[in-house]
Homo-oligomer: A and B are copies of this chain.
Amino acid sequence: MSEYHPLTLEEAIALARTIPDLFPEDARLSCREIGDGNLNLVFHITDPASGKSVILKQALPYAKVVGESWPLTLDRARIESEALQLQSSFCPDLVPRVYKYVPELAVTAMEDLSDHIIMRKGLIARNTYPKFAGHIGRFLARTLFLTSDLGMNQQEKKLLMKRFVNPELCKITEDLIFDHPYTDADTNNFDEAIRDEAEALWRDGDLHREVARLRHGFLTHAQALLHGDLHTGSIFVTADSTKVIDPEFAFYGPIGFDIGAVIANLLLNYAAQEGWSPTADSRARYRAYLLDTIRKLWTVFETEFRALWNERSVDRISNAPGFQDEYIGNILADTTGYAGCKMIRRIVGLAHVADIDTIPDAAAKEKAQRTALAIGKALIRRHRDVRSIDQLIEIAERSGQGG
């Protein structure tokens, strides 16, 4: 089993048995492959007798997205397992536990989260998650501060950055988020109903300048170890629990990229309420919940990040008066801009979100798409001027009303 090959169900079971202290020795394990087959195999292995279970995630040597397929490094399995273990050392309750990593097979054995659901599905079902904002705000503050030059030994940080150089997965982001939506690229994918919007994006030089700035931040600003793909499909939730999964895009980048990703996906669902809320009243209520979640997650992030800074900073001169405020202000501006980029690519770029794509009514779907683009563009255009989370929310609300 030592050379790379996609595992069979039997091999997955055999591998699961090698995890110490998980299954009883004589357990009769059953196994299902539950991945979507686009990037990874995902084996769910259970022991009905003891009720114990495990997930084996195996990277495939290619990626398939919306019919396209290209080769993709297996090294992403190492990056994912190392990122999960590092995140676990900072917030053990907010990521799945890793039991084992087998480099030659690109397999990570990790905690089974079948009692959770993917947050995107929960939001489409219009559930509310009152603990989510606090959890994700803490996840962001701790994972980002404690891998930055503020929170860890600055020479060790350079070596950590080296381990997380991730060219192939960064290239996907650079192309699909920071380039293709702004030109007539083959990978773009949008409904003909909004062709006018797509073509306007391709011609908008002022918007391109702001996107170029954000793109160069992504390319050059090695501020902290990011999750790198923190959308609501990478988060498992229950009423009481939040688990961040799939950090295979992890690399050293700008802090605002991760925060912006979460906010963008909440705002995509906000836009999608055109299609899901049964009444104007219920739409307003759910949207208020989403905006409140954004306000709260930023506030928790900022509060915890500042507390870590005040208690655990390793960077003497960063305590200069006013520098912390300026640093946080720059994170908020980045957050705003990256949130905008992440919204736009989900409407006109290659990969969409189910929140909007599965809206049954065509007119409502189109309206949701236009709302998302209006918010996305406004966030990008105005990101450098945003001084508070309320201002970000106000931009989203106003531009979402066509205002």
Q: Give chain B residues whose Cβ lies under 8 Å from the Cβ of A316.
A: 179, 183
Closest CB in chain B relative to A250 CB, distance in Å: 13
B167 and A216 contacting across the interface, CB-CB below 8 Å: no
Would you give 25 A-B contacts (Cβ < 8 Å), ordered by A?
A149-B220, A154-B171, A154-B174, A155-B167, A155-B171, A158-B165, A158-B166, A159-B167, A178-B317, A179-B316, A179-B317, A205-B321, A205-B322, A206-B322, A208-B321, A208-B323, A209-B323, A211-B317, A211-B320, A212-B317, A212-B320, A215-B315, A216-B327, A221-B221, A221-B222
Q: Does A223 contact B (CB under 8 A)?
A: yes
CA distance A319 to B179 in the complex (A): 12
A220 and B219 contacting across the interface, CB-CB below 8 Å: no
- Copies of this chain held together in the complex: 2
A158 and B170 contacting across the interface, CB-CB below 8 Å: yes
CA distance A154 to B172 in the complex (A): 12
Closest CB in chain B relative to A305 CB, distance in Å: 15
Chain A interface size, as a band, is 35 or more
Please encode chain A, from 147 to 189, with 1 for each CB lying within 8 Å of some chain B CB and 0 for all others: 0010000111011011001111011001000110011000000
Contact residues of A with B, CB < 8 Å? 149, 154-156, 158-159, 161-162, 165-168, 170-171, 174, 178-179, 182-183, 205-206, 208-209, 211-213, 215-216, 219-223, 315-318, 320-323, 326-327
Q: Give chain B residues whose Cβ lies under 8 Å from the Cβ of A212.
A: 315, 317-318, 320, 323
A162-B165, A178-B317 given as contacts; is B209 within 8 A of A326 (CB)?
yes
Q: Give chain B residues whose Cβ lies under 8 Å from the Cβ of A178.
A: 317
Q: Given A162-B165, A208-B320, A209-B322, list of 8 further CB < 8 A pairs?
A: A154-B167, A156-B167, A205-B320, A208-B321, A209-B320, A209-B321, A216-B327, A220-B221
Closest CB in chain B relative to A267 CB, distance in Å: 23
Closest CB in chain B relative to A181 CB, distance in Å: 10
Residue on B nearest A325 in the bound complex, by CB = B209
Residue on B nearest A205 in the bound complex, by CB = B321
